[in-house]
Structure 1
Amino acid sequence: MVSIKWTKRQSPTQDEISKFSSENNLSNTVSELLLERNFSDKEEITEFLNPNITGLQDPFALHDMDKALETLDEVIQSEGKIAIYGDYDADGVTSASIMRLTLKKMGVNPIVFIPNRFKDGYGPNLDEYKKLVEEKHINLLITVDNGVSGKEQVKYLKDNGVKVIITDHHDLPAELPEADAIVHPSIPGSEYFCPYLSGAGVAFKFADALLGDDALNFVDLAAIGTVADSVKLVGENRVIVTEGLKRMSKNQNVGLMALAKKTKLDLNKVNEEDIGFKIAPRLNAIGRLDDATSAMELLTTSDAGLAADIVDETEEINAKRQQLVADAFADSQEQIQQQSENGVLVLTSDTWHQGILGIVASRVVEQEHKPTLVLCYDKDSELYKGSGRSPEGFNLFDALNAHNELFAGFGGHAQACGFSLAEPQLNELIPLLQEEPAKQGFDPHSSVEKLFDLNFQISDFSTDLINEINQLAPFGMGNPKPVIKLSDVHLTNSTGVGKDKSHLKTTIADSQNQIPGIGFSLFSKSLEIKDNLCDVYGQLGVNEWAGRSILQMLINDIEFAPEAQEENKLESIYIDYRQKQLSKALMDRFDSIVCFNAGYYQMLQRHDLNAKVEMFDADFNHQNILIYDRPHDIKVFEQFLQSNKTAHTALYLHTSIKSGYLSPDMNKMKILLKYLYAHDNIKPDDMEVVAKFLNIDKNDADFYLKVFFELNFVKMVNGFVKKAEVSEQRELIESPTYLKRLQRNDVEKILIESNFDDLLNWISDYDCHN
C-alpha cells in the first residue's frame, strides 16, 4: 500500500489573506484558496470566478480551422458523402455526437462510424477506412477525438481521392498525417489559447466556427466530454463546463433527459461530479462492453422511446462492467505482489474483459502509485491488447513511444495509453520499461505527496462554507476540489459498508462537535487508527436523503495525528502490566526487574529469579525490563524515562499501601483545626473519636494533624494538643508531609489511576526513544 505524505498546497499568512480579501472583496476562505492557486491579477481573478460565454475564444484561432471549413464547404457543395470517424469512450461519443448534430444543422446526414473496441481497436483503422471508401464511397472523412496518429491510414484515403479533416487533441506524433486540415489545439507554432481542449471541446469549436451561437445547443455534450476525459479545467475548458452545466436542462437533449431520469439526476442542479460519477461512466460502459454506437445514438436521437430503451440497456451494461472491474482488480493483486520491486507494473490475463482494462489500470495506479499496463490476450488476433495509466510525474506516452516499433497499435497521452502487441514483443518490452522511471526522474517507491488546502475545525463547517468553496467550481484537473484537514479528531461508530464492507462509514468528532463521514476503501485503515487521535483529509459536502440535507465529509485519507503517532510508537515499547498477576516464569522473561524502593529491592533479592534485580539508578538501555514498584515522587520517574532507552518496558508499579491516594480537603482541614483550637483536652490517641464526630476519615485526620504540627499551627503541651502561637503566615506546601502527599498523589493519579492511552500520552513528554 502506498504511503501518503500530506502537505499544505501553500501557506499564505493571515495578513496576506486579509489584504487579498479586502482588495478583492472576497471572503477569507476564497482568498486563501486563490492565493494557493497563485492568483494575483484582478482581471484574472474576476474571469476565473465568473466563467461565462464571453470567455469562449475565436474558433478560427485553432490550427487549420479555416481550411477545415473550406474543405467541408467544398464537399457539401458538390453533394459528396461525408463520414465521421469517432472513438468509443465518453469523449469520443460526445465528439461524434456534436459533429453529427452540427452537420445535420448544415443539411448533411453523415455516416457515423464508432470503432468497436474489440474488433477495430483504438484510433484509425485501415480496414475500416477501406470499407468506408470501397463500400460507402465517401468523399470526406472527419475524425473526432482521434486521427493524428494515423499517418499511413490518412495516406490511403488521400491516395483514393478522399478528403480528410482531422479534429483531435491527443499527443502529437513525430510526423503528422498529410490531411487537408488538422484542427488541433497544440500544433507547434499555432498553439491555441486553451491547449487542453478535449476531443469534444475541439468538436464544439468546429461547431462554433460553423454555427456561431447555435453551437451552444451542443455545449452540454462538450462539457460531458471535457469532464470525462480529465483534461485541465482551466481557461476555455472552464467556460465550456460551466456553460454546459447551465444549459443541460435548457438544451433538452432527449438522451440526456432519459439518462438523468434513470439515474435520478436533476438536470437543473447537475454539477461536474454528477458528470464524472453518473453520466460519463455509463457512456463509457457501453463502449467498454459493447458497441459504443448506441451511446452516440442516445445523445443524438429525438425519439424518447429509443432513448429510454438505450438507457435501460446502458444500466445493465454498467452493472456488468462494475462487477467485471471488481473481479479483475481482485485477481490482479497476486501479480502486483510478485512485481513489488518493479517500477512499472505489467499485468496480464487471458480472461479479463478487454473493455475494463483501463479502469483496472487506474485503480492499480491509485493503489500502488506506479505506471501500470493491464493487458488481455486476444486469441483471434494473437495479440495482447491493453491499456496503460500512470500517476502524475510520469509520462506514459513518452515511455511507450520510446519503444514504438514493438507495438502493433499504439496511441494516447501522458497519463493514459491504449496499445496492442504480440507476446515476443511484450516480453522484450517489460524489462525495457523498468528503465523508464529513472530516465524521467520518477521514483515509484517513494511516498506519494498529496496536497490539502484548508485547515478547519468541525465547528467551522456550514452550508455557507460550501457555497464559498464552490465559487471556485467547476473542479477537476488543474483546479482540484479543495481538501480540508481536520486535526486531532476521533472516529466513532465506524463500520464497513458496501458489498465487500471495504468502505468506511463513520462519525468524525472533536471535544464538542461531530459530522458524519464516508471514506471509500478506508475501513481497514480506520481499524489501524482505532480510538487514537487522527487527522482527517477530505471534502465537505451535502448528503441529501429523504428530503433532508445533512453536511458530511467525503474522506480522502486518515492518518495518526502527530500525538497519536508518538503514542502508537510507544505502544510497541511500553506494556501495561498494572493489573497482571506476576509469576516467577513471567518475571524471568525480562533482563532486569527495576525497583524504586529499597524494601522491595531487598525482598526480590531473596527470590530465586533469573532476571537481575536492580535499583532504578542502574543503566537499562536496550534491555527488556519490568518496573516492579512505583516511586514516591513523579519527578524521579520522569528522570528515569529520560535516561533509559529500553527495548521494552513493562509497567507493574506495585505497592502495598492500600489507600495511598489522598486529595487534601481544605474545608475539612479547617474544621479539624477549628475544633482543636476550641478544645484543649485532646490527645493524639483521641483522633479516632474526633474524626468520627467530625465525619472525617481517620487516616485523613492523622495526616492533617501531622501537617498542623509541622507548620506550627498546634503543639504538644503535657500530652495534649494545644494551639501554637503562630508568628508568621505559613503555606501548606511548607509541610514536608503535605508535600510528600502531593507527590504521592501525582504518582497515583498519573501512573495508577490513568488509562493506558493517557499514561502513554504523559510518557511521550519524557520518553527518550526518539
Structure 2
Amino acid sequence: MRSVSSKNWEEFSINRRILEKIKIENNLSEILAKIIIANKFSDEEIYSTNNTISYSNPFHFNNDFNNSCKILKKHINKKNKILVIGDYDVDGCVSTSLLINFFKKINLKADYYIPNRIRDGYGVNYNLIKYLVKRFNPDLVFMVDCGSNTNEPINYLKKKNIECLIIDHHNINKPYPAATYIINPKKECDYNIYDYYCSAFLTFFFLDVFIKKNSLNVNLKDLHIYIALATIADVMPLRRNNRFFLQQTLKNFDLNKNLIFKKIFQLKKIKKKLDYNDLAFLIAPMFNSAGRIHDANIIVKLLTTNNEDQIKKIIIKLDNFNTHRKNIQNNFLNNNDLNKYTLENGIIFIDNKDLHEGIIGIIASKIKELFNKPCIVFSKSNSVYKGSARSTYDFNIGNLIKTCVDKNMLISGGGHNLAAGLNIQKNNIKDFKKFLDSQYLKNKSINKNKYISKISFSSLNLKFLNEISKLEPFGNLNENPYFLVENVKIKNPSVINDNLITLYLKQSSKSLIKAISFNPIRSKISDYLLNYINPVNLILRLDKINWNNKTNIQIKIVDIITPNKA
C-alpha cells in the first residue's frame, strides 16, 4: 500500500509456527511476540520482558580501558593538570561532565572546554588545540565524543609531551591518531560488538573500571540519569545493555533528588514521574539547543554545579534557546512546500544558504522521517558550505561521507550510518550530489515500511498498551510498533501553534477518539488531515501519557492511506 507521503506500507510477515513457539515458551501475548520477532530480540532480551536484567560493565579486563586507567592514575598521583574536551551535543557534554564530576568527588580540579559550533567548528582542530594548550597548560587531555580523526591536533600534543586519552564512538579512519590510548569500539579491536554504546556510557564504564581498580569509595549512581539522557539523545540502539540500563535508571529515578530535572519540571509545570518521552522530547532538545545556537559549555556548567540559583538561571536560558530553535525550525518547515520532495527518487538535497547551521541537522532529520529517504541540508558558513545528513537504516551515509573525503570532494566530514556532517566548497556540491545520488539509486531497494498488525479502536485500552509497554523504552532498533486502522473518518482537525494538529477519529458507529499529528503543517499528511472528508486508513503509533497521576492513551498519526492507494 502506498501512502500519501509516498511510503510503501505492508504488514510484517511472521511464520505462524515461530510465533506460536515464542508465545508458548515465554508466556507472551500474540502482539508482544509479534513485536519481539519484528525487532529481532535475543533470548536474553525476550527473557527481560517478564524479568529484570541488570546491566553489566564488559570492560573490566579490556586493555584499552586498563591502560587508560594507568595513565589517569599516573597524572592524578603527580597532581598534574587535566583538560577535558567534549563535543557540543548532549553526549559530548554529558561525557565531559561525568569526568569533571568524578574529579570533584576525588577532590581534584580539572578544566574543560566544549568547542563553539560557529567559532571553533566541529571537533578539535589545530588552531583550537594550540589555543587550549596555551590557555590551560594541561599535562593530560581527554577528548570525549570527539578526537577519533584529529591526527594533526594530537600530533601537536605529542610534540608538547602532553598525553591524550580518547573516549569516542564515532567512525575512526586509518591512520589512527597518535593518542596515548584510544577507547573506541569502532576501531579494529576485540570489542567491536559494543559499538552500540554512546561516548557517555563508555566514559562511565571507564570511570567504573578506574574506581574498582583503585578501590575508591566513589558512587556514580547520581549520574546514571545523564547517561540515559545521552543514550537517548544520540539515538543509540535501545537494545541489550542500553535497554536494561535505561529500564533500571528510569524505574529508580527520584525526581526530588535531582535538582536540575526538578527545576525543569517546575518551569514547564509538569507534575508526574519522569519517563523516556521527557528525556527524548523535552530535556534532550533543550540541552542540545545550547550547542546549536549558543554555546554548549553552559550545559557542562549546569551538570557540574550544586548552586540552585545558577541551575535555575541556566534552565531558563536553555528554555529560551530551545524556543528560538523551534521557531527557526518551524518557520522553515511551515513556509516551504514539502510536498515537492515526494517526487524525489534519490536523496533529498536542500540548499538554503540562510539557514542557521545549528538547525540543519534537525531539518534533515524531519525530512528523512517524513519521506523515509536520506536527506542532506546545506547552509553557508563564511566561505564554505556546511551540510548535515540523516539517513535510513539501509544506506550508510557515514561510510559514503568518508569516501567523499578520500576523493577530495569534501573539505572534511564524518559520522556514522544514520547521520553525518560535512564541509564543502560550493564548486564541489554538484559533483558531490551526483556521486551520492548514484550510490543511493544503485543500491536502493524498495523501502518497505512495516506495520505490526491491523487493529480496531475497540481494542485500544490500557491493558493493550501496558502489554506493549513491557518492551519499553522504545527507540533505535527497538521501534515503537506501527499499527494500521482502517475505514476511519477524520473529525474536527485543529492546528495548534503552527506545529501540530489535534483531531478526532471515528471508526464505523463507535465514539470519537482523540488523536494528534506532529507532521509538518505543509506536508501532504497534514493537508489530508485538515481537508479530506472521506474515510481513510491510518498508520499510527500508541503512547502512554501520564498527567496528574492519570494514565491515558495517546494516538499519534504517522501516515495516511486513501482507499485508492490501498
Normalised by the length of structure 1, the TM-score is 0.67
Change in 2 beyond 3 A, CA 1:39/1:391? closer
Gap change, CA 1:55 and 1:49, over 3 Å in 2: farther
Give the match for residue 482 of structure 2: 483
Does the CA-based 8 Å contact 1:254-1:299 persist in structure 2? no
Q: Deviations over 1:630-664 (max 9, x none)?
A: xxxxxxxxxxxxxxxxxxxxxxxxxxxxxxxxxxx
Alpha-carbon distance between aligned partners in 1 of 2:353 and 2:122, rounded to the nearest angstrom: 19
Residue 511 of structure 1, aligned match among 509, 512, 522: 509
Taking a change above 3 Å as real, the CA distance of residues 243 and 542 of structure 1, as seen in their structure-2 partners, is closer
CA distance in 1, matches of 2:254, 2:483: 32
Q: Is the 8 A contact 1:458 1:514 kept in 2?
A: no
- In structure 1, what is the Cα distance between the partners aligned to 2:253 and 2:391? 32
- Gapped regions of structure 1 (runs ≥ 5): 569-770
Partner Cα separation in structure 1 for residue 502 and residue 324 of structure 2:
24
Partner of 1:45: 46
Render the CA deviation track for 1:726-750: whole Å, top value 9, x for unaligned. xxxxxxxxxxxxxxxxxxxxxxxxx
Aligned residues of 1:12 and 1:32 also touching (Cα < 8 A) = no
TM-score norm. by structure 2 comes to: 0.90
> What are the equivalent positions in structure 2 for 1:172-251 lying under 5 Å apart?
172-212=172-212, 214-249=219-254
SS of aligned partner of 2:100 = helix
Q: Secondary structure at the match of 1:3?
A: coil
Which residue matches 1:21? Answer: 23
Residue 509 of structure 1 aligns to which amino acid in structure 2?
A: Q
Equivalent residue letter for 1:146: C
Deviations along 1:421-454, whole A, 9 cap, x unmatched?
Answer: 3223334423333322135x026xx5x4211123
Does residue 302 of the first structure (1) align with residue 295 of the second (2)?
A: no
Structure 1 stretch displaced more, 421-430 or 292-301 = 421-430
Compared CA separation, residues 484 and 331, structure 1 to 2 (3 A)? closer
- Alignment partners' CA distance in 1, 2:341 and 2:378: 16
1:199-598 → structure 2 map (5 Å cutoff)? 199-212=199-212, 214-249=219-254, 252-266=257-271, 269-330=273-334, 333=337, 337=340, 343-379=346-382, 382-404=383-405, 405-439=408-442, 441-442=443-444, 448-487=447-486, 489-500=487-498, 503-521=501-519, 522-526=525-529, 529-532=532-535, 534-543=536-545, 549-560=551-562, 564-565=563-564
% identity of equivalent residues = 26
Helix, strand or coil: the match of 1:55?
Answer: coil
Q: Is the 8 A contact 2:39 2:479 kept in 1?
A: no
Distance 1:183 1:431 in 2: 36
- Residues 139, 39 of structure 1: alpha-carbon distance in 2 compared, 3 angstrom cutoff: closer
Equivalent residue runs for 1:649-668 within 5 Å: none
Change (3 A) 1:206 1:410: same
1:94 has 2:97 as partner: no
How far does residue 298 in structure 1 lie from its aligned partner after superposition? 1.3
Give the deviation of 1:217 after TM superposition. Answer: 2.4
Q: Is the CA contact (8 Å cut-off) linking 2:341 and 2:348 kept in structure 1?
A: no
2:36 matched residue in structure 1 = 34
Change in 2 beyond 3 A, CA 1:193/1:249: farther
Aligned to 1:735: none
In structure 2, what residue type is equivalent to 1:475?
F
Residues 511 and 148 of structure 1: CA distance in aligned 2, closer, same or farther (over 3 Å): same
Q: 2:11 aligns with which of 8, 11, 21?
A: 8
User: Which has the greater radius of gyration?
Assistant: 1
> How many angstroms apart in 1 are the aligned matches of 2:69 and 2:42?
39
Letter matched to residue 389 of structure 1: R
Question: What residue identity is the alignment partner of 1:65?
Answer: F
For residues 72-114 of structure 1, give each alpha carbon's deviation from its aligned partner in whole angstroms, at most 9, with x where no partner exists: 1111111111111101111111111112112222322211101
Structure 1 Cα separation of the partners of residues 234 and 276 of structure 2: 12
Q: d(CA) in 1 for partners of 2:400 and 2:22?
A: 43
8 Å Cα contact 1:62/1:192 also seen in 2? no
Give the secondary-structure state (helix, strand or coil) at the position aligned to 2:79: coil
State the superposition RMSD in angstroms. Answer: 2.7
Q: Which digits, 9 at most, give the CA deviation of each residue in 1:465-514, with x for residues without a partner?
A: 11111111111111111222223x32242313223376241223233354
Q: 1:197, 1:103 → 2: CA distance?
A: 23
8 A contact 1:63–1:182 mirrored in 2:
no
Contact 1:542 1:552 in 2 (8 A): yes
TM-superposition CA deviations, 1:554-594 (whole Å, max 9, x none) = 2212213xxx438x9xxxxxxxxxxxxxxxxxxxxxxxxxx
Contact 1:286 1:317 in 2 (8 A): yes
CA pair 454-49 structure 1, distance change in 2 beyond 3 A: farther
Aligned-partner Cα distance in 1 for 2:92–2:147: 12
Question: 1:170 touches 1:412 (CA, 8 Å); kept in 2?
Answer: yes
User: How far off is 1:247 after superposition?
Assistant: 4.0
1-structure distance, mates of 2:25, 2:499: 49
Other-structure match for 1:135: 135
Judge conservation of contact 2:85–2:96 (CA < 8 Å) in 1.
yes
Alpha-carbon distance between aligned partners in 2 of 1:233 and 1:71, rounded to the nearest angstrom: 32
- 1:577-656 correspondence runs (5 A): none
Structure 1 residue 530: deviation in Å?
Answer: 2.0
Q: Structure 1 residue 39: deviation in Å?
A: 4.6
Letter in 2 for 1:453: I
Change (3 A) 1:221 1:283: same
Q: Quote the Cα distance in structure 2 between the aligned partners of 1:169 and 1:555.
A: 34
Distance in 2 (CA, whole Å) between partners of 1:254 and 1:184 is: 32
> Quick one: structure 1 residues 55 and 551, their matched pair in 2 at CA, closer, same or farther if it must change by over 3 Å?
closer
In 2, the alpha carbon distance for the partners of 1:542 and 1:210 equals 39
Are the equivalent residues in 1 in contact too, given 2:255–2:262 (CA < 8 A)?
Answer: no
- Return the alpha-carbon distance in structure 1 between the equivalents of residues 300 and 347 of structure 2: 35
Q: Alpha carbons of 1:354 and 1:152: their partners in 2 closer, same or farther (altered >3 Å)? A: same
Match of 1:103 in 2: 103
2:480 & 2:352 partners in 1: Cα distance? 36
The 3-state SS of whatever aligns with 1:399 is helix
Distance 1:115 1:264 in 2: 33
Query: Are the structure 2 counterparts of residues 31 and 396 from structure 1 closer, same or farther at C-alpha, using a change threshold of 3 Å?
Result: closer
* Alpha-carbon distance in 2 for matches of 1:118, 1:302: 29
Equivalent position amino acid for 1:295 in 2: I
Amino acid paired to 1:23: E
Q: Does the C-alpha gap of structure 1 residues 331 and 67 become closer, same or farther in structure 2, counting only changes over 3 Å?
A: farther
- CA positional deviation for 1:193: 4.6
SS in 1 for 2:10: strand
Q: Which amino acid aligns with 2:555?
A: M
Aligned 8 A contact 1:198 1:226 in 2: yes
Give unmatched runs, 5+ long, in structure 2.
213-217, 520-524
Contact 2:255 2:273 (C-alpha < 8 Å) held by counterparts: no
Instruction: Describe the SS at the equivalent of 1:101.
Output: helix
Q: How many residues align?
A: 551
1:260 CA drift (Å): 2.7
Paired with 2:76 and 2:413, the residues of 1 have a C-alpha distance of 33
Contact 1:124 1:149 in 2 (8 A): no
> What is the CA–CA distance in structure 2 between the aligned matches of 1:38 and 1:99, rounded to whole Å?
35
- 2:22 aligns to what SS in structure 1? helix
Deviations, residues 330-379 of structure 1 (Å, cap 9, x unaligned): 56648x94995572343333321111111111122223433322222223
Alignment check: 8 A CA contact 2:501 2:518 kept? yes
Distance in 2 (alpha carbons) for counterparts of 1:108 and 1:338: 54
**2:275 corresponds to which letter in structure 1?**
N
CA contact (8 A) 2:126 2:153 kept: yes
Aligned to 2:522: none
Residue aligning to 2:58 = 58
| Contact 1:515-1:552 within 8 A present in 2 as well | no
> Which structure is richer in relative contact order (CA contacts within 8 A, separation 6 or more)?
2
- Partner AA of 1:450 in structure 2: N
